[in-house]
Amino acid sequence: MGKKVLVCLVCALSMLLFGNAPSGMAQEKVYVNGIDANFPPFAFVDKTGKPDGFDVAALDWIAKEMGFKVTHKPMDWDGIIPSLNAKKIDIIASGMSITEARRKEVNFTEPYWKITQVLVAKKDSAATPETAMKDGQKIGVQRGTTEAKWIEENLIKAQGKKFELVYYDSAPLAVEDVVNGRIVAAAMDDAPAKDAEKKKPVKIIGSFGMPDETFGYAVRKEDTELLKKLNEGLKKLQASPEWDVLRKKYEL
């Protein structure tokens, strides 16, 4: 066989095996994790522009342990599930509550965190959950969240409450308006509420009747192998000393 024919055959075989990768090797899959850019301590973007938070660090550990690569992409929370199903991202590991409505669209890992929804008011406020939600008051909430939907359906529609619900792109933005006096309180998960207490002159004044929820990582319905890896990785992480290290680092 001539050298030219042999070279052609080798090139053709390489194309079949590895596609058009410039290096001649198949490109390794890198999973993209969609995160809320402002949901401390679970997910946020730090001062240098780098994604950080408990979920970001936990997923990095899981990826290394389970032998895959991951990157983190900040995005709008209210469109994050459509982005997942449109294959713009591959995972949602960013403090997402597991709900039956969301289960119809995505698959969740086993729960890894339990949360309670609370109200945050100014530190010197005498407000209670009952007075904060009186007629004419303004309550802040992050759009696209389970607490926003629960308040709409169970307090405003079902009970006829007359307070005004003001929507924000993130819980910290709602906290800023609490501090500035534009709203009397903001509804959110207890973890970001405790984070806000450490950084701003605000306090948790109590819950407002919403049942506790749990967090899980979300993937597309068809990504069963990825779901298996994430569940196994979460189990290993929770059984390792690193779990407590991360909890301490992010003050959870």
Mean pLDDT over 151-161 rounds to 97
Mean pLDDT over 13-17 rounds to 46
Q: What is the percent of the chain where pLDDT is above 70?
A: 90
The two beta strands, 213-215 and 43-45, are unpaired
Q: Is the pLDDT of residue 182 over 70?
A: yes
Q: Is the pLDDT of residue 12 over 60?
A: no
pLDDT band, very low/low/confident/very high, at 4 (cuts 50, 70, 90): very low
pLDDT band, very low/low/confident/very high, at 102 (cuts 50, 70, 90): very high
Half-sphere exposure of 203 (CA within 13 A, CB side): 10
Q: Is the pLDDT of residue 13 over 90?
A: no
Domain locations along the chain: 30-114+214-250, 117-211
pLDDT band, very low/low/confident/very high, at 247 (cuts 50, 70, 90): very high
CB neighbour class for 156 (10 Å; exposed up to 12, middle 13-18, buried from 19): middle
Q: Is the pLDDT of residue 24 over 80?
A: no
Mean pLDDT over 92-119 rounds to 98
Average pLDDT, the chain: 92
**Reported CATH class of domain 117-211:** alpha beta
Mean pLDDT over 48-66 rounds to 98
CB 31 within 8 A of CB 91: yes
Question: Cβ–Cβ contacts within 10 Å for residue 232, how many?
Answer: 14
Same topology between domain 30-114+214-250 and domain 117-211: yes
Q: Is the pLDDT of residue 5 over 50?
A: no
Give me the CATH code for the 30-114+214-250 domain, please.
3.40.190.10
Instruction: Give the pLDDT confidence score for residue 239 in this predicted structure.
Output: 98
pLDDT band, very low/low/confident/very high, at 26 (cuts 50, 70, 90): low
Identify any residues that bridge with 35 across adjacent strands, giving them in sequence order: 74
CB 33 within 8 A of CB 93: yes
Q: Is the pLDDT of residue 9 over 50?
A: no
- Report in angstroms the alpha-carbon separations of 62 from 110, 125, 161, 175: 14, 42, 44, 32
Mean pLDDT over 159-178 rounds to 97
pLDDT band, very low/low/confident/very high, at 27 (cuts 50, 70, 90): confident
Q: Is the pLDDT of residue 28 over 70?
A: yes
pLDDT band, very low/low/confident/very high, at 25 (cuts 50, 70, 90): low
